[in-house]
Amino acid sequence: MPTMGNLHAGHLSLIERAREDADRVVYSIFVNPMQFGPDEDLDGYPRTLESDEAALGKHGGVDLLFLPDLRTIYPYGTDSAVSVSLPPLGNDLCGASRPGHFDGVASVVLRLMNIVMPHTLVLGDKDYQQRVLLQRMLEDLHVPAAVVSAEIYREPDGLAMSSRNGYLTAEEREVAPGLHAELGSVAQALRDGACDYAALESVAMANLAERGFRSDYVSVRRAHDLAPPDVFEAGDERIVLAAAWLGKARLIDNIRV
């Protein structure tokens, strides 16, 4: 399980999911500079190794904690490192506002996979686009490992757990569950037969703005590959995804329909 640390209960829940499919569980913590844009929070990203180790020890279930340094992952440095170039989906949705982000994620995950050589890769569904892209990478490059998905772990009020929730002020934290609530409204409309996807997305973004969010997107896609509505076929499972800023925190969430 690749993570960047600053662990919360959602991270720890991945251990239980891994135990369902694996005899031994390897957990990694590495803050990957290659997935941060020039205006993003690499220097300020929380590094909480001591409390992370304590949380993993208390939770149990991890056989090896892998803590590589920068040179282990990028022996020739980051400026001249070999990188993975993902298909166009990597530049869509979250990739549209974070250019190069998913290529950076894929580049570090492939390195971790080659070092550890696991049989399965456990990924949480909160980062749904990331999971779809990493699964595509493993299949495309014939990496002999299966992707296992874990459901989104939520706070009691519906907010998806995330390290970046720590950036929310107390007032913003009260507002934050509104993202999940708005996605729930779109999902219910879809279940009720609505099919004007552009209108649903537009209304949802307007509603989020009224709640105090600054939306990057709300989008209805095909669940298994995140293809847009113009290629939907009868019986396709759909998913509603969103990314929105609330103060300093960029929140993402999704609901399958």
Q: Catalytic residue, from 11, 119, 142, 224: name it.
A: 11
Q: Do 238 and 220 contact (CB within 8 A), yes or no?
A: yes
Q: Is 170 exposed, middle or buried (0-12, 13-18, 19+ CB in 10 A)?
A: exposed
- Could you give the CA distance from residue 1 to residue 22 in angstroms, rounded to a whole number? 12
CA 16 vs. chain centroid, Å, equals 18
Q: What angle do CA 128, 240, 132 make, to 5 degrees?
A: 25
CA distance 208 to 196: 19
- CB distance 207 to 182 below 8 Å: yes
C-alpha of 159 from chain center: 14
Q: What is the C-alpha separation between 43 and 40, in angstroms, rounded?
A: 9
Considering just the CA atoms, what is the radius of gyration of the chain in Å?
A: 18
Concerning whether 180 is annotated as a catalytic residue, the answer is: no
Residues known to be catalytic: 11
